[in-house]
C-alpha cells in the first residue's frame, strides 16, 4: 500500500504517518516512509510518503499512490499527480466551490479517483469548539469510514490511543469516530 499524506505545517501529518506505521508494524508488515518539510513550522507545505509492504524506495512515484490523504484541499489538489488510476482521495474541504472546477472534475473522473471529502474545519468547530489540533485524526477516521487504506477503524483507533498523549486520548477517540461517521453517513 502506498500513501501520500499532505497538508501544511502544524496539521499533524507526521503523527498520521506514525499511526499508519504502528498499525502496519503490528500486522507484521514492512514499513518505510519519507517526509518533505518545506516551511512546516510556519504553515508551509508538508508531504509524507509512506509505504507498507515489500518496497525498495520510500518515495512514491507519480501515478502510483493508492491513497492521497490531504489535510488541506489546496495541497491535495497540488499533489493529485501522485495518485494511481482508481486511487482514493480523502480530503479536508474548506471551500467546496474549488471542486466545481470542470477541469479538476474531468481529471478525477478520467482517472477513476474516488473522492471522500470531509468538511473538517466545520466539523471541528461544531464538535470540538474549533480546536483544529485534531484535524489529522478526523481525516484518519474519514479514511477508515471510506474503507480505503489498509487499517481498519479498530486498528487505527488502537494505534491513535497508544500514540496519543494522555491528555488528548479522549478527544482523539471522539474525533476519530466523528470522521468515520461523517464518511459512512454521507
Q: What is the pLDDT of residues 62-113, one digit of tens each?
A: 999 999 999 999 999 999 999 999 999 999 999 988 888 999 999 999 999 9
Give the pLDDT band of residue 124 (cuts 50, 70, 90): very high
Establish how many alpha carbons lie within 13 A of residue 76's alpha carbon, considering only the half-sphere containing its beta carbon: 25
| Residue spans per domain, the chain | 2-184
Task: Provide the pLDDT for residue 44.
Answer: 79
Answer CATH for 2-184 from 3.40.1550.20, 3.40.920.10, 3.40.140.10, 3.40.50.300: 3.40.920.10
Please report the pLDDT score of residue 10 as a whole number. 75
**pLDDT tens profile 10-63:** 788 889 999 999 999 999 999 998 876 555 566 778 889 999 988 989 999 999
Cell 479498530, residue located? 154
Cβ(109)–Cβ(141) below 8 Å: no
Closest CA to 12 of 164, 180, 129, 181: 164
What pLDDT, on the 0 to 100 scale, is given for residue 40?
55
The CA distance from 145 to 153, in Å, is 7
Judge contact between 30 and 54, C-beta under 8 A. Answer: yes
Give pTM, 2 decimals.
0.92
CA 176 to chain CA centroid, nearest Å: 12
Instruction: Give me the pLDDT at residue 39, please.
Output: 57
Phi, psi of 84 (to 5 degrees): -80, 165
Cell matching residue 86: 482508481
Q: Give the angle subtended at the CA of 25 by the CAs of 23 and 29, to the nearest 5°.
A: 110
Radius of gyration (Cα) for the chain, nearest Å? 15
| Cell output for 65 | 499512490
Amino acid at each position: 500500500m502506498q500513501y501520500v499524506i499532505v497538508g501544511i505545517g502544524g496539521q499533524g501529518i507526521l503523527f498520521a504517518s506514525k499511526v499508519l506505521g504502528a498499525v502496519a508494524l503490528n500486522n507484521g508488515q514492512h514499513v518505510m516512509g519519507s517526509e518533505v518539510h518545506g516551511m512546516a513550522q510556519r504553515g508551509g507545505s508538508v508531504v509524507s510518503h509512506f509505504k507498507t509492504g515489500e518496497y525498495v524506495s520510500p518515495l512514491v512515484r507519480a501515478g502510483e499512490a493508492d491513497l492521497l490523504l490531504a489535510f488541506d484541499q489546496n495541497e491535495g489538489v497540488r499533489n493529485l499527480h501522485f495518485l494511481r488510476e482508481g486511487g482514493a482521495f480523502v480530503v479536508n474541504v474548506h471551500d467546496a466551490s474549488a471542486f466545481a472546477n470542470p477541469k479538476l472534475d474531468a481529471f478525477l473522473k478520467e482517472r477513476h479517483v474516488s473522492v471522500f471529502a470531509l468538511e473538517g474545519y466545520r466539523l471541528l468547530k461544531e464538535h470540538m469548539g474549533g480546536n483544529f489540533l485534531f484535524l489529522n485524526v478526523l481525516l484518519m477516521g474519514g479514511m477508515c469510514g471510506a474503507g480505503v487504506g489498509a487499517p481498519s477503524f479498530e486498528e487505527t483507533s488502537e494505534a491513535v490511543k497508544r500514540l496519543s498523549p494522555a491528555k488528548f486520548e479522549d478527544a482523539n477517540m471522539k474525533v476519530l469516530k466523528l470522521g468515520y461517521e461523517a464518511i459512512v453517513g454521507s
